[in-house]
């Protein structure tokens, strides 16, 4: 494995400012720095992206799948609405770990269903920024 792709969906650019009681005070740049440090220690490059647009995420999943690169995906609210992301994961045969900062199952009922989970290798939720690091460790240990 030469690279790990970390893809972030809508509103994750607001981390650190948006509802810190739910999402914490860490910014997306803070999370990127932690993951980059761990990747560098393992000799793996990090591809880290965020978009508020579903189509960008679809394209990036397809690219990662074509490259055979594992994906850590926090699709934000698109988790609960996007059949297109499910189709991209399945169609590109991407190896995806779904992550969430909050425990989505302890929140509003509309957040309890994920279109991504059935296509994902695994799901990690509720550990704040550590959710990303746990997903990365699973990848680095070749789950």
Active-site residue among 5, 86, 100, 115? 100
Angle, vertex CA 143, rays to CA 97 and CA 26, nearest 5:
40
Active-site residue among 23, 86, 115, 132? 23
How many Cβ atoms sit within 10 Å of the Cβ of residue 53? 11
Q: Are 119 and 90 in contact (CB under 8 A)?
A: yes
Please list the alpha-helical segments (H only) found in 2-129. 20-23, 28-42, 54-67, 83-92
Question: Is 115 in the active site?
Answer: no
Q: Which of 57, 60, 56, 33 is nearest to 46 (CA)?
A: 33
Residue 97's SS3 state is: strand
Q: Are 126 and 102 in contact (CB under 8 A)?
A: yes
Question: Is 100 in the active site?
Answer: yes
Catalytic center residues: 23, 100
């Amino acid at each position: 494995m030469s690279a790990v792709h970390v893809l972030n969906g809508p509103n994750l650019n607001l981390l650190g400012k948006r509802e810190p009681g739910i999402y914490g005070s860490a910014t997306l740049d803070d999370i990127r720095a932690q993951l980059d440090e761990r990747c560098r220690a393992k000799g793996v490059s990090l591809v880290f992206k965020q978009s508020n647009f579903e189509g960008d995420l679809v394209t990036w999943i397809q690219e990662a799948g074509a490259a055979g690169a594992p994906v850590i995906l926090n699709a934000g609210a698109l988790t609960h609405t996007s059949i297109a992301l499910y189709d991209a994961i399945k169609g590109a045969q991407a190896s995806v770990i779904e992550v969430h900062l909050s425990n989505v199952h302890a929140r509003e009922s509309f957040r309890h269903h994920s279109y991504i989970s059935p296509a994902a290798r695994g799901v990690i939720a509720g550990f704040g920024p550590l959710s990303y690091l746990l997903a990365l460790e699973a990848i680095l240990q070749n789950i």
